[in-house]
Amino acid sequence: GQNIDQPTEMTATEGAIVQINCTYQTSGFNGLFWYQQHAGEAPTFLSYNVLDGLEEKGRFSSFLSRSKGYSYLLLKELQMKDSASYLCAVRDGLTGANNLFFGTGTRLTVIP
Amino acid sequence: GAVVSQHPSRVICKSGTSVKIECRSLDFQATTMFWYRQFPKQSLMLMATSNEGSKATYEQGVEKDKFLINHASLTLSTLTVTSAHPEDSSFYICSASVGGDQRPQHFGDGTRLSIL
């Protein structure tokens, strides 16, 4: 089975940096994804990690440590529009070639 | 980039009605599509994996006779919620993958289903 944990809510200030953590336990790890979801909308893809290390994409970076079952999403220069839920998802290679299992999501509120 | 279209975006209907939701991949062929359900303030729960030309694979606890999935072509999968009841009210989202381990799933815009 899969067990994915991330904080329920976080608050940060506009212009600051915020780190959203995700820990996971899965029987057949085959990649970790981060998605952004605004209320009432579908998720949009942010980042993908399958090897250990940091992946940087503009204001967003994602880190993975497979040995620790740990990832984080780093958001820099926060903007008000970054207020959204951030979903950590793990692909389990044993249950299907591309099945994703999602954490409960972290609701980020950016304040002025 | 890859685009997934989902229709309708919102449905309001009476209890006992069957509702069909369509998911189309617009600029790529998707041999596999996924159906998720999301209740308010909760995360996405995978309901089933839809495979073109074969039966869908359902997750544990999802009734296959209630949630009928048809993946008749490489660009279309449909989810039919049969005899819907108020507890079926939820946000239903489909996704598809272009294929290959590096590719993320691309999501449709979702269908908000409200059963009265």
Interface membership of B71 toward A (CB under 8 Å): no
The per-residue pLDDT for A1 is 63
Is the CB of B34 less than 8 angstroms away from the CB of A99?
yes
The C-alpha of A60 sits at a distance from chain B's nearest C-alpha, in angstroms, of 16
Mean pLDDT of A60-73: 97
Q: Name residues whose C-beta falls within 8 Å of residue B59's C-beta, 6 or more positions apart in sequence.
A: B45, B46, B47, B48
Q: Is the pLDDT of residue A97 over 60?
A: no
Burial annotation A32-42 (CB, 10 A radius, 16+ → b, else e):
bbbbbbeeeeb
Is the CB of B93 less than 8 angstroms away from the CB of A104?
no
Cβ contacts (< 8 Å) between A48 and chain B: which residues? 102, 104
pLDDT band at residue A82 under the 50/70/90 scheme: very high
Closest CA to B22 of B39, B38, B45, B5: B5
* A87, A91, A98, A101, best to mutate vs chain B, most B CBs in 10 Å: A98
Name the amino acid, one letter, at B48: A
Beta bridge partners of A97: none
Mean pLDDT of B83-107: 83
Q: Is the pLDDT of residue B109 over 60?
A: yes
Interface membership of A3 toward B (CB under 8 Å): no
Helix (H, G, I), strand (E, B) or coil at A78: coil
Nearest CA in chain B to A97: B101
Tell me how far apart the alpha carbons of residues A81 and B32 are, in angstroms, rounded to a whole number.
32
Interface membership of A20 toward B (CB under 8 Å): no
Interface membership of B58 toward A (CB under 8 Å): no
Tell me how far apart the alpha carbons of residues A56 and B11 are, in angstroms, rounded to a whole number.
39
Mean pLDDT of B57-73: 91
Helix (H, G, I), strand (E, B) or coil at B97: strand
Q: Is the pLDDT of residue B54 over 60?
A: yes
* B23, B43, B57, best to mutate vs chain A, most A CBs in 10 Å: B43
The per-residue pLDDT for B8 is 96
Mean pLDDT of A41-52: 91
Nearest CA in chain A to B34: A99
Tell me how far apart the alpha carbons of residues B64 and A109 are, in angstroms, rounded to a whole number.
38
Q: Is the pLDDT of residue B71 over 70?
A: yes
Closest CA to A22 of A13, A42, A31: A31
The DSSP output letter for B100 is: S
